[in-house]
A = this chain, B = another copy of it.
Amino acid sequence: MEKLGLRERKKQRTRQALIEAAVRLFDDRGYDQVTVAEIADAAEVSPRTFFLHFQTKEDVLLANADVRVDLALQVIAERHAGEPLSEVLVRAMDRMIADAWDRDLSSGLAALRARLAASVPALQTRLLQRYLSAQAELAQALQRAFPARLDAITASALVGAMVGAVSAAALTALERGDGPDEARDAMRQAMALVARSVA
Chain A contact residues, CB within 8 Å of chain B: 121-122, 124-126, 128-129, 132-133, 135-136, 139, 152-154, 156-169, 171-173, 176, 186, 189-190, 193-197
Contacts and interface: CB of A to CB of B under 8 A. Distances in A.
Contacts of A157: 165-166, 168-169, 186, 189-190, 193-194
| Chain A at the B interface: SS class | helix
A195 B168 CA distance: 17
A73 B189 CA distance: 25
Contacts of A129: 121-122, 124-125, 128
Contact of A193 (B189, B195, B197): B197
A74 to B, nearest CB: 21
A167 B157 CA distance: 8
A167 B189 CA distance: 22
Given A160-B169, A161-B194, A154 B124 contact: no
Contact of A189 (B153, B162, B176): B153
Nearest to A121: B129
